[in-house]
Amino acid sequence: MNIFSITIIQHEKYFVKRNLKFFYGTIYMFMNEAFGDTGAAYEESRKILHCDVNNFYASVEILHHPKLRGKPVAVGGSAEERHGIILAKNYIAKPFGIQVGMALWQARQKCPDLIILPPDYPKYQKFSALFRKILLEYTDLVEPFGLDESWCDVTAICGKPGAAKLLADEIRERVKNELGLTISVGVSYNKIFAKLGSDIKKPDATTVISPTNFKRVVWGLPASDLLGVGRQVEKSLKGVGILTIGDIANADISYMEKLFGKWGAHLYCYANGLDNSPVKPGDFTPVIKSVGNSTTCPRDLVNDNDAHIVLFNLAESVAERMREIGMMAKTVQISLRTSDLRWFDRQAILPKPSMIAAELAEEGMKLLRKNYDWRMPLRSIGIRGAKLIPYAPSEQLSFFADETKRNRAERLEYAVDDIRRRFGYEKLGRLILKTDDKIGQLDAKTSNVIHPLGFS
Residues with catalytic roles: 149
The phi, psi pair for 91, rounded to 5°, reads -70, -25
Strands (DSSP E) contained in 200-242 are 206-209
The phi, psi pair for 157, rounded to 5°, reads -115, 5
Q: Identify the H or E element spanning 80.
A: none
Q: Give the separation between CA 15 and CA 7, rounded to whole angstroms.
A: 11
CA angle 367, 372, 378 (to 5 degrees): 105
Closest CA to 325 of 415, 389, 410: 389
Strand partners, 244: 222
Helix (H, G, I), strand (E, B) or coil at 206: strand
Render the burial of 343-361: b for 16+ CB within 10 Å, e for the rest. Answer: eeebeeebeebbbbbbbbb
Q: Give the separation between CA 271 and CA 249, rounded to whole angstroms.
A: 5
Q: How many CB atoms lie within 10 A of CB 117?
A: 18
**One-letter amino acid of 311:** L
Sheet holding 73-76, edge to edge: 86-89, 73-76, 115-117
